[in-house]
Amino acid sequence: MIEIKNVSKWFGDFQVLKNINEVIRQNQTVVVCGPSGSGKSTLLRCINGLEPFQQGEIIVGGVKVNDPKTNIYKLRQKIGMVFQRFELYPHMTALQNITLAPIKVLKLSKKEAEERAMKLLERVGIPEKANEYPANLSGGQQQRVAIARALAMEPEYMLFDEPTSALDPEMIKEVLDVMIDLAKEGMTMLCVTHEMGFAREVADEILFMDYGQIVERGTYEEFFKNPKTERAKDFISHILH
Amino acid sequence: MFDAVFRNFSFLMGGLLITFKLAACALAGGIPLGILVGLGRISKNKWIYYPVTYYVNFIRNIPLILVIFWFYFVMPIITGSSIDPFPSAVVSFIVFEATYFGEIFRAGYQSISKDLVNAAFATGLTYSQTVRYITVPIAFRRMMPSLITQSIVTLQDTSLAFVIGLPELVRRASIVDNLEVRSIQLFGFVAITFFIICYTGSKISRYYEEKVRKANIL
Ligand SMILES: Nc1ncnc2c1ncn2[C@@H]1O[C@H](COP(=O)(O)OP(=O)(O)O)[C@@H](O)[C@H]1O
Ligand SMILES: [Mg+2]
Rounded Cα distance between B105 and B8, Å, is 41
Cβ of A105 within 8 Å of Cβ of B138? The answer is no
Among A228, A199, A230, A172, which residue's Cα sits nearest to residue A29?
Answer: A199
Cβ of B123 within 8 Å of Cβ of A90? The answer is no
The contacts of residue A82 (CB under 8 Å, 6+ apart) are A143, A146, A147, A150, A158, A159, A160, A161, A163
Q: CB neighbours (10 Å) of residue B51?
A: 11
- What's B42's DSSP letter? T
- What's A128's DSSP letter? G
How high is the pLDDT of residue B216?
59
For the beta sheet containing A205-210, the strands, ordered from the edge strand earlier in sequence to the opposite edge, are A79-82, A157-161, A188-192, A29-33, A205-210, A213-218
Domain boundaries, chain B: 3-214
Q: What are B39's strand-pairing partners? A: none
Rounded Cα distance between B52 and A83, Å, is 34
Domain B3-214, CATH homologous superfamily name and number: MetI-like (1.10.3720.10)
Over its length of 218 residues, how does chain B's per-residue pLDDT go in tens digits? 788 888 888 999 999 999 999 999 999 999 999 989 998 998 889 999 999 999 999 999 999 999 998 888 887 888 888 888 899 999 999 999 999 999 999 998 888 999 999 999 999 999 889 989 998 888 888 888 899 999 999 999 998 888 888 888 999 999 999 988 888 999 999 999 999 999 998 898 888 888 777 765 54
Rounded Cα distance between A194 and A166, Å, is 12
How high is the pLDDT of residue B84?
87
ipTM for the complex shown:
0.94
Confidence band, pLDDT 50/70/90 cuts, at residue A241 = low
Cβ of A76 within 8 Å of Cβ of B141? The answer is no
Task: Give this prediction's pTM.
Answer: 0.82
Q: CB neighbours (10 Å) of residue A42?
A: 17
Nearest CA to ligand 1 atom 3: A11
Residue B3 or residue A41, greater confidence:
A41
Q: CB neighbours (10 Å) of residue B101?
A: 26
Whole-number mean pLDDT of chain B?
Answer: 89
**Strands, DSSP E only, in chain A?**
2-11, 14-24, 29-33, 55-60, 63-64, 79-82, 157-161, 188-192, 205-210, 213-218
Nearest CA to ligand 1 atom 24: A37
How high is the pLDDT of residue A39?
96
Of A7, A8, A16, A160, the one to substitute when testing ligand 1's pocket (max ligand atoms within 8 A of C-beta) is A16
Q: pLDDT digits over A204-234, tens only?
A: 999 999 999 999 999 998 988 888 888 888 8
Residue range A10-27: average pLDDT? 96
Q: Which of B115, B125, B138 sits opposite A105 (nearest CB)?
A: B125
Would an 8 Å CB–CB cutoff place B114 in contact with chain A? no
Confidence band, pLDDT 50/70/90 cuts, at residue A81 = very high
Burial letters B155-178, b for 16+ CB under 10 A, else e? bebbbbbbbbebbbbbbbbebbbe
Ligand nearest to the CA of A84: 2
Q: What are A33's strand-pairing partners? A: A208
Which chain A residue's Cα is nearest to B114? A87
Among A139, A142, A198, A193, which residue's Cα sits nearest to residue A171?
Answer: A139
Virtual torsion, Cα A140, A146, A147, A150, nearest 10 deg: 180
